[in-house]
Amino acid sequence: MEIILAEHAGFCFGVNRAMDLALKIGKDKDGKVHTLGPLIHNPQAVKKLEEVDVRVESDIEKITEGTVIIRSHGVPPEILEQAEKQELEVVNATCPFVKTAQRNAKELMEEGYDVVISGDQDHPEVIAILGYTDNQAIIVQDESDFEKLDNLKKAGVVAQTTQSLERLQKLTAYLLKNVSELKVYNTICTTTGQRQREAARLSKKVDMMIVIGGYNSANTNRLAEICSESGVKTHHIERAEELNKDWFKNIKKVGITAGASTPNWIIKEVLKRMSEIKEKHEENLEENILTKG
Ligand code: F3S
């Protein structure tokens, strides 16, 4: 059995940076340290942070002292103002690419455009970008939201960094036909597209795909969808222990990929467990040959 790991799998630049920062602060600081919401959509990474006393709190008003770490998705500006009012020390780990999307949205609003965000309305990153437009932007998830765009004249578009290019293209094509002026910032992060393209390519070459990452991680779920869509048997797992040796019967090639929020140590555990399964299969195969011989 051949095991092929996608070249780009696991933590992206922004998540890696946020995790490193949080681990360092957890180890160095004496006072209380909180992240506002789980730093990463991965329960094992959250647990690792708890080990250095970095706790998760979802409501800024409940953090009464110490340091608050802003995660890579960013927050609306009023949350930063609130943290300042509460005299908290703020460590802003917003990914620089997300900050660009926030800045672009703010500029568009100031230039008088009707701001349109291509993204998921419940995603914290989108909620944060919305805040930079005084909560005036229109959020468009897919075609079913296009009716919200009627009557716009001058539209300015930004995208959630993990948005698919296809959705952004559909939105801009629609707007182009309906508005007299259109300005588009392509704020999609290349990491996402690169991982998705690689997952699609790899899943066409193997008999089975293993996708590693939090069940609550949107980008991991999307990778699993892409692999399934290419017709290959796909298993989405969070941890090595979930691997079932029966999955690997009659499998010659296995591809592995992992979401942008999946820590490297989990990928390593999965690879180790798969090598053990592989060895066991080869031993069984040899035994069968010897018995038959
Ligand atoms: Fe940043 Fe892109 Fe990751 S926007 S958080 S590097 S997916």
Ligand 1 atom with the smallest distance to the CA of 13 is: 6
Query: Whole-angstrom Cα distance, residue 161 to residue 218?
Result: 12
The pLDDT tens digits of the residues spanning 224-233 come to 999 999 999 9
Residues in contact with ligand 1 (CB, 6 Å cut-off) = 12-15, 72, 95, 97-98, 161-162, 189, 191-192, 260
Please give the average per-residue pLDDT across 12-29, as a whole number.
94
Number of Cβ within 10 Å of residue 62's Cβ equals 8
The pLDDT tens digits of the residues spanning 131-163 come to 999 999 999 999 999 999 998 999 999 999 988
Atom 5 of ligand 1: nearest residue by CA position: 14
- Domains, in order of start, for the chain: 2-9+191-292 (3.40.1010.20), 13-94 (3.40.50.11270), 97-188 (3.40.1010.20)
Identify the H or E element spanning 155.
Answer: strand 154-159
Ligand 1 atom with the smallest distance to the CA of 189 is: 2
What sign does the CA torsion over 88, 59, 48, 217 have? Answer: negative
pLDDT at 279 over 80: yes
Q: What are phi and psi of 76, to 5 degrees?
A: -65, 155
Distance between Cα 92 and ligand 1 center (Å):
15
Complex confidence, ipTM: 0.99
Ligand 1 atom with the smallest distance to the CA of 192 is: 7
Distance between Cα 118 and ligand 1 center (Å):
16
What are the CA-CA distances from residue 192 to residues 86, 103, 107, 189, 199 (Å)? 36, 20, 25, 6, 11
Distance between Cα 172 and ligand 1 center (Å):
22
